[in-house]
Amino acid sequence: MALACVTLGLQGCAGLGGADAADSAQEDPSGIVVTQADPSFDIDVRSDDGGIASHLERHLTLQRYTRFPDLRETEFNRLLAEADENARDLLAALGYFNPTLSLRVEQAQAGVQPPRTIVIEVEPGPQTTVAERTVAFAEPMNSDARAAGQRERIVSGWSLTTGSGFTQSDWDSAKSRGLRELQKLRYPTAQIAQSQASVRAEDNTASLYVLYDAGPLYRFGDLQLEGVQRYDPQGVRNIARIPEGQEYSEEALLDAQQRLAASGYFDSAFLMLDTQSDPDHATVIARVREAKYQKVVFGVGLTTDAGPRLSIDHTHNKLWPLGWRAVSRLALDQHTQEASTLWTAMPNREGWSWFTGGELGRSEIGDFKANSVSVVGGRSKQVGHIDRRYYLQYDFSKVEGGDAPGSSSSIMANYAWTGRYFNNRNNPTEGFGIGAEGGIGFTLTPQREPFLRTHLRGLYLLPVGAANEVGRRSRIALRSDVGAIWADDGTEVPATLLFLTGGDTTVRGYGYESIGSRSESGRLYGGRYLGVGSVEWQRPMTMFGNQTDWEYALFVDTGFVSNDIDAVSLYTGVGTGIRWNSPVGPMQADVAYGIDKEQLRLHLRLGFTF
């Protein structure tokens, strides 16, 4: 059975066994046994182009024999005769078809190792350039009006343009990228039917031709489950939500796979399109490994915002009596102690899930301590890049302190929408995200008054400038966060609904939630209006011309929290930092100076969230 497979996961690690120090023999890919004996000869490639010289020295077949023991003179002469042709082949792969080569052997003085050196002097000549290129498509895709945009993307995105230098690797890469564009959308069985690169050595030009055979157009059909025993099969299908009847898209397949993997019901999930089934109703195969009903996770951590942190998470994937998935958590740090639970049902056919939950907490709100209770219930839906929720929320808080406002409670109807349009979920380099949340409600105690709460977030990653020597670009990260509570001046909204800012993910250079409004005695407290903005320049780092997983950054953050929108005090922080693109997301370390408080702070953070 032929399958088009999309796999989501982390690469495993293979152990390397230690070699016996006494065993110095090694075998190269050609099967020739090479020892660590004294070198039989050395290779010295000389050219005005250092890159070409280095490339030849690394890849010449001669390198396999430099330490070959007891190399006879006849064998050495045979290798020398073959070296010219080998060097010309390597240069041709780089687009140099008219090089000038000279080879000679220089003998070393008696007793000097190596005893002789093969010197290769290279004048590569002009590099072959692309004179013309033809990208063609076989029928019926070639005349399909619905595929016009796809054809245009492949042609316009072709990397070997007229006048560009020709190399074998660029030619192979261009063909492969075009094929991948076909296979990602509508045509998973596409292939290269014909390709030809005609090189005219006399004028150092190349004519390129490639013909893609897209094959049949595929549409999603039924989802076939393999490995589902504990959980409701229809519920699993509702989680995946394969768009049956729609044209095949690798992105849609990945989204469905991601929903299964992130649902918590499975330890692993792999989705494949059965390309041997009917293209008009192609079967999607889901191979899953179910998670156990219950799981407990203990966590210990340290953050620059909240200091040491301890957490215990318990998950039950089918909790009696509702059979919903329940995630309960106990978390303790210097500022907050909380216990929470969230119960979520499997989604219906439209993707909506019922949820309910509650939280008990004791936390620092500015210079005050607050005990709080929160209860929520509603529905949520995740489709592609978009999350939606609508729910009712009850909040109660009791603030302790000298001039604390006391206790208050409220009930509020909320709607939240989040759109994530980044090029990578874990470590994006471009794209944007938008989050909006609005709620209308009224306080229950100490008086009954209406209020409105809004909260907007945004992040935009914009690549700027030219690519560096390894093809990576700098980028500007623009971040914003604004919120407001609209109510009469005398309305006492629960403290947990008020805004505070400052810390690792908001305004760096200031402590965690150290920016807020002030009580009558001048003590820090939450405010009704929030505004945060940040501009950050991120630059990839290279080492000796090689790509690394590190970046450095310069940034400016500014923000405020106030009870009076006409009396705002901005707090600004400036700083620099480094980023490491780890397998689980970016790890960042920043040093920021809080201008208004004249203080220097270290900020650490792991992972990307929006």
pLDDT in tens, 221-264: 999 999 999 999 999 999 999 999 999 999 999 989 999 998 99
pLDDT at residue 395 in the model: 97
Q: Give residue limits of the domains in the chain.
A: 32-123, 129-213, 218-290, 292-346, 353-606
- Give the whole-number percent of the chain exceeding pLDDT 90: 63
Predicted TM-score (pTM) of this structure: 0.72
Matching fold, domains 129-213 and 218-290: yes
- pLDDT-derived band at 304, boundaries 50, 70, 90: confident
What's the rounded mean pLDDT across residues 175-182? 93
One-letter identity of residue 488 = D
Residue 14 has what pLDDT?
A: 33
**Left if phi > 0, otherwise alpha if psi is -120 to 50, otherwise beta: which for 215?**
left
pLDDT at 140 over 80: yes
Fold (topology level) of 218-290: Ubiquitin-like (UB roll) (3.10.20)
SS3 582: strand
Between 131 and 584, name the one with better pLDDT.
131
Over residues 166-170, the mean pLDDT reads 90
Q: What confidence category does residue 471 fall into, taking pLDDT thresholds of 50, 70 and 90?
A: low
pLDDT of residue 12: 32
Check residue 236 and give its pLDDT.
95
**For the segment 579-608, what is each residue's pLDDT rounded down to a tens digit?**
998 887 889 999 999 999 999 999 998 888
Q: What angle do CA 464, 255, 607 make, to 5 degrees?
A: 55
Read off the pLDDT of residues 547-576 as tens digits, 9 standing for 90 and up: 788 999 999 999 999 999 988 999 999 999
The CATH class given to the 353-606 domain equals: mainly beta
Q: Does the domain at residues 32-123 carry the CATH identifier 3.10.20.310?
A: yes
- pLDDT band of residue 545 (cuts 50, 70, 90) is low
Over range 293-312, report the average pLDDT: 86
Cα→Cα distances 114→43, 46, 149, Å:
10, 18, 60
- In this prediction, residue 37 carries a pLDDT of 59
Q: For the chain, percent helix, then strand, then coil, each to nearest 5? A: 15, 50, 35
Q: What value does the mean pLDDT of the chain take?
A: 88
pLDDT for 492 = 92
pLDDT at 342 over 60: yes
Q: How far apart are the first and last CA of the chain?
A: 40
SS3 per-residue string spanning 296-311: EEEEEEEECCCEEEEE
Fold of 129-213: Ubiquitin-like (UB roll) (3.10.20)
Least confident of 62-66, 133-137, 413-417: 62-66
pLDDT given for residue 470 in this prediction: 59
How far is 438 from 494, CA to CA, in rounded Å? 16
If you average pLDDT over residues 520-545, what whole number do you get? 89
| pLDDT band of 76, cuts 50, 70, 90 | confident
Of the candidates 90, 126, 88, 100, the one whose C-alpha atom is nearest the C-alpha of residue 205 is 126
Output the pLDDT for position 374: 97
What the block records as the tokens of 214 is: 């897209």
pLDDT for 22-75, tens place per residue? Answer: 333 444 444 444 445 577 888 999 998 888 989 898 999 988 888 887 778 888
Q: Which residue has the higher pLDDT, 547 or 419?
A: 419
- What is the DSSP annotation of 318-377? EETTTTEEEEEEEEEESSEEEEEEEEEPPP-TTSEEEEEEEEEEEEEETTEEEEEEEEEE
Find the mean pLDDT for residues 448-456. Answer: 97
Residue-level pLDDT at 29: 42
